[in-house]
Amino acid sequence: MEHLDFEQFYGENRDACLRAVLAATGDRQLAEDLVAEAFTRAWTSWRKVSRHPAPNAWIVRVALNTRVTWWRRRRHEVALTDHEAVDPAGADVAGVDPALLVALRRLPRRQREVVALRVFLDLDTETTAGALGIAPGTVTAHLSRAVAAMRGHLAPVNSQEGER
């Protein structure tokens, strides 16, 4: 029974978790690796994870924590390029608009995480706060700032139209 529960959870939540992690990282290949790692950890601890109030938030949080762990291990390596590229073709496959991903990449890490959980996983403020280990008011503030910044990137105000 437990095995079937996990399979059903995986089938119903994998794409949403991938989109959320992709929104937070901006890198499709990295997001796929992180989500695969998080689901593997969920499988090994399924009894505990299945009782979590928001198992999909647990997956995303584990994926984002894994990213930090991997970064810490690799931070002394020499980078081959001076920036991270967003692959628009890869983003479209995940059902995320490439322009949205570019705007998300411009946000600070915590704002990206809040957007990933609140928007892509449709979690409420309390659950998002619990998953990120921050206060609900902080979630609201980060989301508000993220929306304002993304609005500026995605729908810039034309100064000539305002003068007419």
16-31 pLDDT per residue, tens: 999 999 988 888 999 9
Supply 9's token pair. Answer: 């959870």
List of domains in the chain: 2-156 (1.20.140.160)
Q: pLDDT value at position 41?
A: 95
Q: Does 74 score more than 70 pLDDT? A: no
Supply 56's token pair. Answer: 């999909």
Q: pLDDT value at position 37?
A: 95
Q: Does 1 score more than 70 pLDDT? A: no
Q: Does 158 score more than 70 pLDDT? A: no
Q: pLDDT value at position 93?
A: 44
Q: Does 164 score more than 70 pLDDT? A: no
The pTM (predicted TM-score) of the whole model is 0.61
Burial 15-39 (b: 16+ CB within 10 A, else e): ebbbbbbbbbbbbbebbbbbbebbb
Percent of the chain with pLDDT over 70: 79
Supply 51's token pair. Answer: 């009782």
Cα gap 135→117, rounded to integer Å: 14
Q: pLDDT value at position 26?
A: 85
Tell me what the mean pLDDT of segment 155-160 comes to: 59
Question: What is the separation, in whole angstroms, between the first and last Cα of the chain?
Answer: 66
- Residues 95-127 have pLDDT tens digits of 777 888 888 888 998 999 999 899 888 899 999
Residue 68's pLDDT band (cuts 50, 70, 90): confident
- What is the distance, to the nearest Å, from the Cα of residue 66 to the centroid of all Cα atoms in its chain? 12
Q: pLDDT value at position 155?
A: 79
